[in-house]
Amino acid sequence: MALDGNYLRGTMAAVLSILQHSTCPENITFHFLWSRFELEIFSSIKTTFPYLNFKVYPFDANRVRGKISKSIRQALDQPLNYARIYLADIIPTDVKRTIYLDSDLVMVDDIAKLWGVDLDDKVLAAPEYCHANFTKYFTDAFWSDQSLAETFKGKQPCYFNTGVMVVDVDKWRQGGYTQKVEDWMVVQKQKRIYHLGSLPPFLLVLAGNIKAVDHRWNQHGLGGDNIEGKCRSLHPGPISLLHWSGKGKPWLSQQEDVSAYFPEERYYHHLPSTN
């Protein structure tokens, strides 16, 4: 997970929910990436979770500053949002598998079930959404360029959300996936082929070549604006992970009527206060 002062309450809620629903929380190690040292963040984690098994690693924001293209939402342009690309380069080499999680989610199931998914020799596992209109994640300039559009030739690419990913870290390193994602970021700087921050280069490299897991592991799209009709429908069936990937975050305001952002507010009590 990434450590960001603006998302601290979300991080705390995510950690708490993972621990609360784990059969063996003592077996979990958290790896946190940070781009700016903020003592109060580390103090809050240690104070709130005195027995938490965690490690922190600095992420050099300069690695991506020159590669980031402006997206449709300012939050997507922050260097730390791209840290997931470099996860395998940062964490220790003895770590063979990891689960990358965004900081705006709540786990309501045992994370060991997700950890134990069979990757079937794939580098990454995540819920796939093959009903989504895949073409909308890229610009007309991309699809009109035959050499670019042929990136997906012979594949059945499906959208997946990069906020929840099981990663075979060894395969990621051996396959040079960091460089592959970076290469598409370079193309984007030369010719605008997408609008959504760090997600599209992941899709360009991996869509159609990941292990699909049950949709229950990423009920994303929460936090959309219900007044503007932008709330995503819940997935059918049981849910193991709730993900506020929309612009509305449960911790941003305690004063507003949160029902506009959170029609699923019955889960809001999972979020602790870090005051």
CA distances from 174 to 51, 97, 119, 179, 185 (A): 34, 13, 16, 11, 20
Full pLDDT tens readout for the chain, 275 residues: 999 888 898 999 999 999 999 999 999 999 999 998 888 898 999 999 999 999 999 999 999 988 888 776 666 678 999 999 999 999 999 999 999 999 999 999 999 999 999 999 999 999 999 998 999 999 999 999 999 999 999 999 999 999 999 999 999 999 999 999 999 999 999 999 998 889 999 999 999 999 999 999 999 888 876 545 556 677 778 999 999 888 888 877 554 544 444 444 434 444 444 44
**Judging by beta carbons within 10 Å of its beta carbon (0-12, 13-18, 19+), is residue 1 exposed, middle or buried?**
buried
CA angle 201, 123, 130 (to 5 degrees): 60
**CATH number (domain holding residue 97):** 3.90.550.10
Residue type, 91: I
In a domain, 118, yes or no: yes
Q: How much is the pTM?
A: 0.88
Q: What's the burial of 223, exposed, middle or buried (CB within 10 Å: 0-12/13-18/19+)?
A: buried
**Residue 120: left if φ>0, alpha if ψ -120 to 50, beta else—which one?**
left
Q: Is residue 231 part of a domain?
A: yes
Beta-ladder partners of 175: none
* Strand (E) or helix (H) holding 252: none
Number of domains in the chain: 1
Q: CA-CA-CA-CA torsion for 174, 179, 184, 186, nearest 10 degrees?
A: -170
Q: Which residues share a beta bridge with 211?
A: 125
Q: How far apart are the C-alpha atoms of 2 and 23, rounded to whole Å?
A: 24
In a domain, 81, yes or no: yes
- Do the domain assignments include residue 161? yes
Phi, psi of 181 (to 5 degrees): -70, -45
Domain that holds residue 168: 2-270
- Does residue 275 sit within a domain? no
